[in-house]
A and B are shown apart, each in its own frame.
Chain A
Amino acid sequence: MSQKVLLSSKEINIILHRLACQLLENHLDFKNTVLIGIQPRGIFLAQRLTDILKSEYGVKDINLGFLDITFYRDDFRRGNKTLEANKTNINFLIEDKKVVLIDDVLYTGRSIRAALTALQSFGRPIEIELLTLIDRRFSRHLPIQPNYRGRQVDAINNEKVKVMWQENDGEDAVYLVNTTS
Chain B
Amino acid sequence: MSELSVKHLLGIKYLKEQDIQLIFETADHFKEVINRSIKKVPSLRDITIANVFFENSTRTKLSFELAEKRLSADVINFSAAQSSVKKGETLIDTVNNILSMKVDMVVMRHPNPGAGIFLSKHVKASIVNAGDGAHEHPTQALLDSYSIREKLGDVAGKKVVIVGDILHSRVALSNIFALKLQGAHVKVCGPKTLIPKYIESLGVEVETNLIKALNWCDVANMLRIQNERLDISYFPTTREYTQQYGVNKKILDSLDKEIVIMHPGPINRGVEITSDVADSKQSIILNQVENGVAIRMAVLYLLASKIK
Contacts and interface: CB of A to CB of B under 8 A. Distances in A.
Interface of A: 68, 70-72, 76-77, 81-88, 117-118, 120-123
Q: Is the interface on chain B under 10, 10 to 19, 20 to 34, or 35 or more residues?
A: 20 to 34
Contact of A71 (B2, B38, B42): B42
B15 to A, nearest CB: 15
A42 to B, nearest CB: 17
A2 B28 CA distance: 39
Interface string B5-37: 000000000000000000001101100110011
A75 to B, nearest CB: 11
B42 A82 contact: no
Quick one: which of A82, A87, A118 has the most chain B CB within 10 A?
Answer: A82
Contacts of B299: none
B290 interface: no
B29 A87 contact: yes
B2 A84 contact: yes
B29 A81 contact: no
Interface string B267-308: 000000000000000000000000000000000011011111
B43 interface: yes
A72 B308 contact: no
Interface of B: 2-4, 25-26, 28-29, 32-33, 36-38, 40-44, 46, 71, 301-302, 304-308
A76 B29 contact: no
A92 to B, nearest CB: 12
Contacts of A118: 41
A86 B308 CA distance: 24
A120 B41 contact: no
Sorted nearest first, the 8 A-B pairs with minimum C-beta distance are A71-B41, A82-B3, A121-B38, A85-B29, A82-B305, A71-B43, A84-B2, A121-B36
